[in-house]
A and B are shown apart, each in its own frame.
Chain A
Amino acid sequence: MFPDEFDYHEATSVSEAIDLMGEHAGAETELLAGGHSLLPAMKSGLSSPDVLIDIGEVEELHGVEVDGDTLSIGAMTTYSDFIAEDVSEEHAPALYHAVRQVGDTQVRNRGTLGGNLAHADPASDLPGAALATDATIVVTGPDGERRVSADDFFFGMYATDIGPDELVTRVEVPSAADAVGAYAKKPSPSSGYAMVGVCVQATVDGGTVTTVRVGANGVMDHGVRLEGVEDELAGESLDEDSIAAAADRASEGLDTAMMMSDLQASAEFREQLVGTYTRRALERVLDRTATPAAAD
């Protein structure tokens, strides 16, 4: 299978990428990052852009660093490069565990965190993690940078707050060095994408949950917070009973009529799965709280 023909431009800086987007504003233009969502879509004919602007090698968009209380991740950082940095697990444990479950070795060697979030595939593994870690997505356009909270970033299936002349340049995660994180996912048996995935980041102090954020993907047409779970756990002790009570509230506030429904799972099944995978994610948090040393 071959993609349709297109014009290819490689940007060497963020400003060049923005200029190229402006230059080709009249054409159907796509930004190319790792290409592991875009190229399959182009090969199968689902997407036929006239122009590709390759930002994958833009140096300033690569790397993970701690900047004060923030873990700053360049948008073109590959999953593998993110996992390989010790600071990733230390400061953003929930995101770290979700990234480890994206695709497979080869996909993680090419795919990027920024590309994932910009693509906003509801079945991807990172929307829930972006929400659970309270990430901020930094987008840059002709007028400079804009910072968008993950809570406001995802609009719907493949739809985000990114403007047509903007690109994601950075993901900023507030340091959660005292927190533990976990991601539990039911992968599609064929594609490995999440039929349902639940990501939890929590701080547990003396057995009591002091902070907790829970995000899910694969359930609705975009990543969502599971607010019923968060309410149930905040200020409570984390144990089998509280986990069961929290999992019971997993789909609270979600419009079940709007849940994703496809050949692989009906909406009703997904509603059950979100409870089950919430429980599994919380059980991992509990394990890691009990024995932090085993959390690697």
Chain B
Amino acid sequence: MTEHDITLTVNGAEHDLTVEARTLLVHALRDELGYTGTNVGCESSLCGACTVRMDGEAVKSCTTLAVQADGAEIRTVEDLGTRHDFHPIQEGFQEEHGLQCGYCTPGMMMTALDILEENPDPTREEIREGLEGNLCRCTGYQNIVNAVQNAAEQMQPAAVADGGETDDDGPTPATDGGEKQ
């Protein structure tokens, strides 16, 4: 067994910690540093509940070793907003009822942030493609897509007209041709 000294900057705060080689980023965040907003879901890089942003990109923290994140800037759901001052994405999820049990929500929001930073005015199809790696077993996704659209409108007040083009090779929908169920 090897132990490693690493540095993680989480939501702007720098943390030095010692981890086993096998420690996963999600456990370093939750168990070592107390950022419990990030959830552990399927443990097999499918469900996206553990999504955080690492150096500006959405990643699944259950499939990343803490040592691989050494030196990285991590952003978790705790950094989005406070209960009295919601981030537009949180606002969108509240307005559109984008959650029921809420377990997938931290991951959904961090992926939504990724989508909206890359594409401030996504089509519904682009939102669905962007959220392909996040599973929700409650909502049926409709309200989540609505929530991300709502957030996009808030974040981009001078909204552009619809009409983004998508690549029909796509990231492939979860079901053959139909919308994600």
Q: Which residues of A contact B20 (CB under 8 A)?
A: 5
Query: If the complex has contacts A5-B22, A8-B2, A106-B58, are A182 and B169 also in contact, measured as CB distance less than 8 A?
Result: yes
> Which listed residue (B24, B59, B68, B170) contacts A106, Cβ 8 A?
B59
Instruction: Digitize A147-160: 1 where CB-to-B-CB distance is under 8 Å, 0 elsewhere.
Output: 00000000000000
Verify B48–A104 contact, CB threshold 8 A. Answer: yes
In angstroms, Cα B62 to Cα A35, docked, is: 11
Residue A82, interface by CB 8 Å: no
Verify B111–A105 contact, CB threshold 8 A. Answer: yes
What distance in Å separates the Cβ of B97 from its nearest Cβ neighbour in chain A? 24
Residue B21, interface by CB 8 Å: yes
Give chain A interface residues in 1-51, CB to chain B under 8 Å. 1-8, 10, 32, 35-36, 39-40, 42-44
In angstroms, Cα B67 to Cα A38, docked, is: 15
What distance in Å separates the Cβ of A283 from its nearest Cβ neighbour in chain B? 10
Query: If the complex has contacts A5-B22, A54-B68, are A106 and B111 also in contact, measured as CB distance less than 8 A?
Result: yes
What distance in Å separates the Cβ of A6 from its nearest Cβ neighbour in chain B? 6
Verify B67–A10 contact, CB threshold 8 A. Answer: yes
Using CB atoms, name the residue of chain B closest to A185. B172
Give chain A interface residues in 225-269, CB to chain B under 8 Å. none
Give chain B interface residues in 1-27, CB to chain A under 8 Å. 1-2, 4, 20-22, 24
In angstroms, Cα B24 to Cα A8, docked, is: 13
What distance in Å separates the Cβ of B8 from its nearest Cβ neighbour in chain A? 15
Q: Which residues of B contact A1 (CB under 8 A)?
A: 43
Verify B48–A35 contact, CB threshold 8 A. Answer: no
Verify A35–B64 contact, CB threshold 8 A. Answer: yes
> Which listed residue (B51, B130, B134, B170) contacts A100, Cβ 8 A?
B170
Query: If the complex has contacts A8-B67, A43-B43, A97-B169, are A110 and B59 also in contact, measured as CB distance less than 8 A?
Result: yes
Residue A114, interface by CB 8 Å: no
Q: Which residues of B contact A32 (CB under 8 A)?
A: 65, 68
Residue A109, interface by CB 8 Å: yes
Query: If the complex has contacts A36-B45, A43-B44, A56-B68, are A105 and B130 also in contact, measured as CB distance less than 8 A?
Result: yes
Residue B162, interface by CB 8 Å: no
Verify A109–B58 contact, CB threshold 8 A. Answer: yes
Q: What band does the interface of chain B fall in when counting residues whose beta carbon is under 8 Å from A?
A: 35 or more
Residue B46, interface by CB 8 Å: yes
Using CB atoms, name the residue of chain B closest to A81. B57
Query: If the complex has contacts A4-B22, A35-B68, A80-B57, are A192 and B45 also in contact, measured as CB distance less than 8 A?
Result: no
> Which listed residue (A10, A183, A189, A294) contacts B175, Cβ 8 A?
A189
> Which listed residue (B24, B57, B130) contacts A2, Cβ 8 A?
B24
In angstroms, Cα B3 to Cα A6, docked, is: 10
In angstroms, Cα B153 to Cα A24, docked, is: 54
Verify A105–B132 contact, CB threshold 8 A. Answer: yes
Verify A187–B172 contact, CB threshold 8 A. Answer: yes
Give chain A interface residues in 42-94, CB to chain B under 8 Å. 42-44, 52, 54, 56, 80
> Which listed residue (A56, A101, A105, A296) contacts B172, Cβ 8 A?
A101
Q: Which residues of A contact B120 (CB under 8 A)?
A: none
Query: If the complex has contacts A5-B1, A35-B63, A104-B133, are A296 and B48 also in contact, measured as CB distance less than 8 A?
Result: no
Using CB atoms, name the residue of chain A closest to B58. A106
> Which listed residue (B21, B62, B67) contacts A5, Cβ 8 A?
B21
Query: If the complex has contacts A8-B2, A103-B133, are A192 and B172 also in contact, measured as CB distance less than 8 A?
Result: yes
Verify A101–B67 contact, CB threshold 8 A. Answer: no
Residue B165, interface by CB 8 Å: yes
Give chain B interface residues in 145-173, CB to chain A under 8 Å. 165, 167-172
Residue A186, interface by CB 8 Å: yes
In angstroms, Cα B174 to Cα A189, docked, is: 6
Given A6-B21, A100-B167, A192-B174: 14 more A-B contacts, CB < 8 Å: A2-B24, A6-B2, A8-B4, A10-B67, A40-B44, A40-B45, A97-B167, A103-B133, A104-B171, A105-B133, A106-B45, A186-B176, A190-B46, A284-B169
User: Measuring CB to CB, which residues of chain B are less than 8 angstroms from any residue of chain A?
Assistant: 1-2, 4, 20-22, 24, 43-46, 48, 51, 57-60, 62-65, 67-68, 111, 114-115, 130-134, 165, 167-172, 174-176
User: Measuring CB to CB, which residues of chain A are less than 8 angstroms from any residue of chain B?
Assistant: 1-8, 10, 32, 35-36, 39-40, 42-44, 52, 54, 56, 80, 97, 100-101, 103-107, 109-110, 182-187, 189-192, 284, 287, 294, 296
